Chains A and B, each alone.
Chain A
Amino acid sequence: MTVPETAMNRAREETDPGMLPSQVRMPSPPGTERRDSMISIEGVSVFYGAKQAIRHVSLEVPERSVTAFIGPSGCGKSTLLRCFNRMNDEIPGCRTEGSIIWKGMDILSREVDPVPLRRKIGMVFQKPNPFPKSIHDNIAYGLRIGGMRDRSEIDALVERSLRHAALWDEVKDRMDESAMGLSGGQQQRLCIARTLAVEPEVILMDEPCSSLDPIATGKIEDLIYHLKRDYTVIIVTHNMQQAARVSGLTGFFYLGELIEFDRTKQVFEAPRQELTERYITGRFG
């Protein structure tokens, strides 16, 4: 009998060293920087004009893990996600305070160039957004922009990225066809492959399955599980079952504040905060 992928995933989750309780009591005390911490968010606040969308959020995201942000609409989870690769810079009137320390640098510092940053911290959006080009060129485009010229090297990377995104077997015979002809789920995996091609270390996902059917959603969820072996994944989702299925850590946000951040099992089985309990049991939101 073949063990279902989701069951395998759960078994892996149980033995995931990235989820030891000692690693998830976030944030850690000031001045006690942890080696296993990949991204350290310290006192981040975000304003849209006069309106404060994020209120002094601090937490630490361990590397090679899946971290989910949940909360009702307007709670600030997507705003915080966009801080990680400075996407909020593109929004007029948006101002950010605090720091996000990654590899010894403050991502939010004006001295950090967001363009190379976004190659290392890639993003997958709610709606699949392939370029109106061929499947091959969707992935090769970013590589060429990055200066890669060798055709065989590009082809090898395209194949590797598609394999990594669990899409290769479905598209290998039609690489020159338009990406717009792919199904929604395939388009989203293509976008993930495109993100992987430029070899990021962190992948941000903003509601990656909200426009997909259950089968395509299942494939993306399995893919997220595989990705955590090599990447740090931060996912924003409205779907609590999805957060429970794919992530090792979950943060619950409400009105711009981080209410609870703990192991996913703890958050969904026995949350420590009354507000979290009320939200995840559907009593508000």
Chain B
Amino acid sequence: MSNGIPMAKEKFSTELDRLVVDVLKMGELANAMLCRSMRAFKDLDPKEVEWVHSKKGELDWMDRDIEERALQLLTLYNPMAKDMRTVACVLKMITYLNRIGRYGKDIARDAEALIGQPHISKLVNIPHMQVLASGMVRDALEAFATGNLKLISEFRERDDEVDAIWESVLRESLTYMMEDQKKIPTCMHYIMVARYLERCADHSCKIAEKVHYMYTGEHIEIK
């Protein structure tokens, strides 16, 4: 026993802290995959495509490793109250973060398909969607790390903004496709990528819901 805290509890706290740090690392990786996939898509850069693809295995490994350790903590220590809520939050977060990273991989795959062909027009909306979605992921992670729930207090409005751009991209792409059938394959990639980014913003909202529960014990819905 040290500082009045039982030894087993100290071990649990250390393990839980390590778990939180690793979730943050996983979040950074997922967000980096998203950011660099957009660089790949915007600049049609094969090196960025390759980097994103190379990280998929690491992301999956982190997902499995964190899940295994979180389940072990539940089994060995039967955590309660905020400890339990933290483990529950971790278990949900890694699924959302894995999805976000995999959307990055999907965007890189779309970029790969477009390499060698110029974009139909200068890309503005889609990269802006990525900036907004990545900002939400980053703020959700920081709220998770610090408990500063102000960072996620406007996620509903921020998600609405991403949704509005997604609809705009969809309309614009449909217009291009109706004007010229040859543009259909390229526009389909635009629509898919915008859809992935819209889903990333949704996933960050789900993370924010779990973080709110972790710190307050209260379930909220952001939609």
Contact = CB atoms under 8 A, between A and B. Distances in A.
Interface of A: 240-241, 244, 268-271, 276-277, 280-284
Nearest to B217: A270
Contacts of B147: none
A270 B88 CA distance: 13
B81 A269 contact: yes
Contact of A269 (B8, B12, B85): B85
B90 to A, nearest CB: 16
B4 interface: yes
A13 B82 CA distance: 22
Contacts of A268: 80-81, 84
A284 B83 contact: no
Interface in B1-43: 4-6, 8-9, 12
Contact of B9 (A269, A276, A277, A283): A283
A270 B9 contact: no
6 contacts: A240-B78, A270-B85, A281-B80, A281-B83, A282-B8, A284-B4
Contact of A270 (B8, B77, B78, B216): B216
B221 interface: no
Which interface residue of A240, A270, A271, A284 has the most chain B CB atoms within 10 A?
A: A270
A271 B81 CA distance: 7
A282 B85 contact: no
A70 to B, nearest CB: 11
B218 interface: yes
Interface residues of B, number: 18
A277 B85 CA distance: 12
Nearest to B83: A281
B79 interface: yes
B79 A270 contact: no
Nearest to A272: B217
Nearest to B9: A282
A229 B190 CA distance: 61
Q: What 3 pairs across the A-B complex have the smallest Cβ distances?
A: A270-B217, A280-B80, A282-B9
Interface string B179-223: 000000000000000000000000000000000000011100000
Contacts of B78: 240-241
Contacts of A276: 81
Contacts of A283: 5, 9
A240 B84 CA distance: 13
Contacts of A270: 81-82, 85, 216-218
Contacts of A282: 6, 8-9, 12, 77
Contacts of B218: 270
Nearest to B80: A280
A241 B79 CA distance: 9
B4 A281 contact: no
Contacts of B77: 282
Contacts of B83: 281
B82 A281 contact: yes
Contacts of A240: 78, 80
Contacts of A281: 9, 79-83
A280 B5 CA distance: 13
Contacts of B5: 283-284
Contacts of B81: 268-271, 276-277, 280-281
Given A268-B84, A269-B85, A284-B5, 14 more contacts: A268-B81, A269-B81, A269-B84, A270-B216, A270-B218, A271-B81, A277-B82, A280-B80, A281-B79, A281-B82, A281-B83, A282-B6, A282-B9, A283-B9
B73 to A, nearest CB: 12
Interface in B82-119: 82-85
Nearest to A244: B80
A209 to B, nearest CB: 16
A282 B11 CA distance: 12
A211 to B, nearest CB: 21
A269 B6 contact: no
A195 B77 CA distance: 35
Contacts of B6: 282
A258 B78 CA distance: 24
